[in-house]
Chains A and B, each alone.
Chain A
């Protein structure tokens, strides 16, 4: 019994320590993102890495999701389907699937690579070298990734929204035989500003979470290649879970 209590207490303490460590890391990271010196070249490089190179995966995910929603809802709404399908596609994509799927894809692509890159820099003493060369790793490595994540994820989600809705349009017109112009009219009628904005806000938060978890786990990587592997796994898992948790919280704030 005492053993059980002890191990329980131990894990609670570990959990609280981790929360504190992440909290402190977050404050430092945000503080250094907003104080000079800034590295515009590095921010731009990360924006291209996170935003531009993620376009193909995000676009593919979005188009198939849009198509699936249209197919699934067509079997659900047998009467007056045309309007309902356009509505479900627009709402589903802009509110949920656009940001969440783009976020999860970018977590796999970018969260992992950030953790691996910074983790390798940590275990090969490159981060120590930065400090001895009068460079703050929070400004040089972490800040640019956070800024790029917060800026680029919303842009990716706008692209995902457009392509996802287009996926629905393709199924509705080619497969279900709806007339293109009335489908587009219904799509416009279903579009609601708050749903779109909630998706963009979610995307910015997700971008922050992905970059934060990648940099955090990379920064505290230990040991050799195994440590980097562990950091990468932890970055992806923790970012995915946090992303879904914050998706729920933000949905509750916007719509409940």
Chain B
């Protein structure tokens, strides 16, 4: 937690969020350095997705501070917030491809919306990005429903990186994929993050994927972080929550919260 403030890309301080009586995020503190690739792990329903949605601005936190590049989000105007959106690239869990649009229209959607390119150049750019994620240009005029799950993930990744964002967010990038496709997606994620020099935040419960794509790991349990450390140390961790998570053992209620 002893981080130098100016270098931090994203900083969360005492962040709280509840839905009704249910507390989802309980005094969350997290600092993500510029260029860092962090993975947030934890069981289902521990608030990982809500935390991601707070960071990308789809969910408003109840209290606490969330700043990006030292700028407090809650103090931003609507316009600044919209501008900020274009600096994020998000790979959604189910891909969230627009099923009424073709593959190339999906990939160049952000570029066309921000009017960075005209339609013809956008298509060329889309095909170029498709080759970066190892997709054949022949599927550019297909619709998402015509592609396999693994290919849809590639398209979703291509859409996320198309606007060359500074912050990449991956919500369970390998869930539902076979081990071989998972590996390909992991490699593509590593490559994209490196090429863009982006800061990356991933949510995952796939430990092998986490070890591959992340530098550091933070484990969320019942709305608060119970462990943080570098990705290569995760298996040597003495923390009960982490070892249980890796071994697939359910945490029972009376478990003490030990910290390394």
Q: Taking beta carbons and an 8 Å cutoff, which residues of A are in contact with B?
A: 121, 124-126, 128-135
Residues of chain A contacted by B109 (CB below 8 angstroms): 133, 135
Given contacts A124-B94, A126-B98, A132-B58, 6 further A-B contacts (CB under 8 A): A125-B92, A125-B93, A128-B92, A132-B85, A133-B110, A134-B114
What are the 3 closest A-B residue pairs judged by CB atoms, nearest first?
A125-B96, A129-B96, A133-B110
Interface string of B89-100 (1 = CB under 8 A from A): 110111011110
Chain A nearest CB: distance from B47 CB in Å? 17
Interface string of B62-101 (1 = CB under 8 A from A): 0000000000000000000010011011101110111100
Q: Does B214 contact A (CB under 8 A)?
A: no
Q: Does B247 contact A (CB under 8 A)?
A: no
Partner of A129, one of B57, B86, B92, B163: B92
Q: In the docked arrangement, what's the CA distance between A126 and B93, Å?
A: 11
Instruction: Count A/B pairs, Cβ under 8 Å.
Output: 46
Q: Are B98 and A132 in contact (CB under 8 A)?
A: no
Q: Does B113 contact A (CB under 8 A)?
A: yes
Q: Does B189 contact A (CB under 8 A)?
A: no
Closest to A133 in B: B110
Interface secondary structure of B, over-half rule: loop
Closest to B162 in A: A133
Partner of B110, one of A125, A126, A134: A134
Total interface residues in chain B, CB < 8 Å: 23
Q: Are B113 and A135 in contact (CB under 8 A)?
A: yes
28 contacts between A and B (CB under 8 A): A121-B98, A125-B92, A125-B94, A125-B96, A126-B96, A126-B97, A128-B53, A128-B90, A128-B92, A128-B96, A129-B90, A129-B96, A129-B97, A130-B98, A131-B57, A131-B58, A131-B85, A132-B58, A132-B85, A132-B88, A132-B89, A133-B85, A133-B109, A133-B110, A133-B163, A134-B113, A134-B114, A135-B113
Chain A nearest CB: distance from B171 CB in Å? 8
Q: In the docked arrangement, what's the CA distance between A135 and B88, Å?
A: 13
Given A124-B94, A125-B93, A132 and B56 contact (CB-CB distance below 8 Å) = yes
Given A126-B97, A126-B98, A134 and B92 contact (CB-CB distance below 8 Å) = no
Residues of chain B contacted by A133 (CB below 8 angstroms): 85, 109-110, 113, 159, 163
Among residues 81 to 140 in chain B, which have CB atoms less than 8 Å away from a CB atom of chain A?
Answer: 82, 85-86, 88-90, 92-94, 96-99, 109-110, 113-114
Q: In the docked arrangement, what's the CA distance between A125 and B169, Å?
A: 14
Q: In the docked arrangement, what's the CA distance between A132 and B81, Å?
A: 11
Q: In the docked arrangement, what's the CA distance between A27 and B115, Å?
A: 28
Residues of chain A contacted by B93 (CB below 8 angstroms): 125
Residues of chain A contacted by B88 (CB below 8 angstroms): 132
Residues of chain A contacted by B86 (CB below 8 angstroms): 134
